[in-house]
Chain A
Amino acid sequence: MTPEDALREIRNREDQTTEAALGPVPRWYLVSVALLLCVVSAVPDYVSRSLPYQAAGIALLLILSVISNRSRRARLRRSRYTNKSALLVLSMMGAMITVFIGLYVVASLADLPYPSTISAVAMALTWALMTPWLNRAMKATLRRER
């Protein structure tokens, strides 16, 4: 194997591992997390003491995340993630929080019924729409910065 072929082989193989570790997010995970986000954020509209329900929802979210991680065929080293990849995650979280708070404020000011539910649904949709984007962007960033 020539040195050039070896380097090409190394890059291709590294890409395959990145693809396996950050492969498409399973649909069941996208839907379950979106539903749980809705429930956790919308519950104050329906129950006066919402904290226990929200705690249970967050615990379920953590369990789902563990199950999803375990179903992966490879896990990337932490050192592979750069500041740029952290920025991508933060920007998605920022978008979700902005959508939730923004819509909640608007719905409350407009005196709409169920302001938490409206903003929770919008936040869950933001999650479902942005997660595939985050995945693609993360892979592209890791490929560029290796």
Chain B
Amino acid sequence: MEEGFDEFLHVPARLSIVALLAPAEWVEFRFLRETIGTSDSALSKQITALENAGYVAVRKERSGAARRTLVRLTDHGHEAFAAHAAALERIVRTARQRP
């Protein structure tokens, strides 16, 4: 297995979430749900799994009358994601170099 490759992150639903979170300081839960096109419960399940692994952090805040849930990648999550993306790049590069 390529160094840095993270099987836990490579699950499509989780990879999509983490890739959406990677460039951001934080994103709204609602944005994740609408962009990925999934249900509240399915997304919550993946977010909880990522939270338990220490990859994401969740906080709720009041925005006027409404409440919103914000999700962000932790430092550990950023490191794991960067290592995973780098491993993917290496795998693709190696595959292209093969005759």
Interface residues of A (CB under 8 A from B): 1, 3-4, 6-7, 9-10, 12-14, 16-18, 20-21, 70, 73-78, 80, 142, 146
Contact = CB atoms under 8 A, between A and B. Distances in A.
Contacts, number: 72
B43 to A, nearest CB: 14
B24 A21 contact: yes
A12 B20 CA distance: 9
B27 A9 contact: no
Given A1-B15, A16-B35, A74-B31, A7 B24 contact: no
A17 B15 contact: no
B15 A74 contact: no
Interface in B3-36: 10, 12, 15-16, 19-28, 30-31, 35
A76 B92 contact: no
B97 interface: no
A76 B12 contact: no
A76 B95 CA distance: 33
Interface of B: 10, 12, 15-16, 19-28, 30-31, 35, 63, 85, 88-89, 91-92, 95
Contacts of B10: 1, 6
Contact of B27 (A3, A10, A73, A78): A73
Pick the most buried of A3, A75, A76, A77: most chain B CB atoms within 10 A of its CB.
Answer: A3
Contacts of A7: 85, 88-89, 92
Contact of B19 (A10, A70, A73, A78): A10
Contact of B26 (A1, A9, A74): A74
A3 B91 contact: yes
Contacts of A20: 27, 31, 35
A10 B28 CA distance: 18
